């Protein structure tokens, strides 16, 4: 488990220096400095890698070492539900904050009966315009929320029921909206799915080519008109 250090809008997970003692080094508490550029906000993944330099001692001599670490980007996450997911929404807001991200409550304010398109649209629009990095939507089945979110340009909403679907939706599809079913997931399952979804990076490569084609379809739909 690494130490957590926040700076420059990102959260840096730094390996504990005690690990170097296995090679005969006595770790020293010093300021850590980055040896490479910090992650760019344009990164779609929540995690990227870099190197950090630290000081240790061996035989009473200062030795500078470097190691590869992960930079975990702090993201803004919109969380919204309809009336059936209202109670789960508070738990999910707390879970997102526990994972060191900024969680924003996009409603509803009570568990009175409401229409899911209103709140799904509000959160999806925030993703589409860049107000937030991602969104989590909670519905009875999550299907309606998912349909609404995918009406917004640049939104790639995924309805996930298990660990695998959450992981693949990120690594292959670069999903930026997670839809959950309050009818299907248990109290212990949802936090795990959310953690996987927030921490799984987009793999890029052949998947980037496919996501780019989705973006072109979005663009074509926006440019379409009956006269054309």
What positions carry a catalytic annotation?
172
- DSSP letters along 175-227, please? --EEEEETTT--TTHHHHHHHHHHHPPP--THHHHHHHHHHHHHHHHHH--TT
Cα 163 from chain centroid?
15
Rounded CA gap, 133 and 114, in Å? 25
Rounded distance between C-alpha atoms, residue 53 and residue 171, angstroms: 29
DSSP secondary structure code for residue 28 in this structure: -
């Amino acid at each position: 488990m690494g130490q957590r250090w926040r700076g420059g809008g990102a959260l840096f997970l730094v390996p504990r220096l005690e690990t170097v003692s296995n090679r005969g080094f006595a770790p020293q508490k010093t300021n850590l400095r980055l040896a490479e550029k910090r992650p760019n906000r344009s990164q779609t993944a929540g995690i990227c890698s870099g190197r950090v330099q630290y000081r240790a001692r061996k035989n009473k001599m200062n030795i500078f070492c470097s190691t590869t670490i992960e930079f975990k980007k702090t993201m803004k996450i919109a969380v919204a539900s309809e009336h059936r997911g209202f109670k789960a929404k508070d738990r999910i807001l707390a879970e997102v904050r526990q994972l060191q991200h900024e969680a924003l409550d996009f409603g509803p304010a009570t568990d009175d009966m409401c229409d899911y398109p209103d709140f799904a649209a509000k959160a999806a629009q925030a993703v589409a315009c860049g107000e937030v990095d991602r969104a989590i939507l909670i519905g009875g089945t999550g299907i309606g929320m998912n349909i609404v979110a995918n009406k917004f340009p640049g939104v790639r909403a995924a309805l996930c029921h298990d660990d695998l679907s959450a992981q693949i939706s990120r690594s292959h599809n670069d999903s930026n909206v997670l839809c959950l079913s309050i009818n299907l997931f248990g109290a212990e399952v949802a936090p795990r799915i959310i953690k996987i979804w927030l921490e799984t990076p987009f793999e890029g490569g052949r998947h980037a080519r496919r996501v780019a084609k989705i973006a072109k379809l979005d663009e074509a739909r926006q440019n379409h008109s009956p006269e054309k």
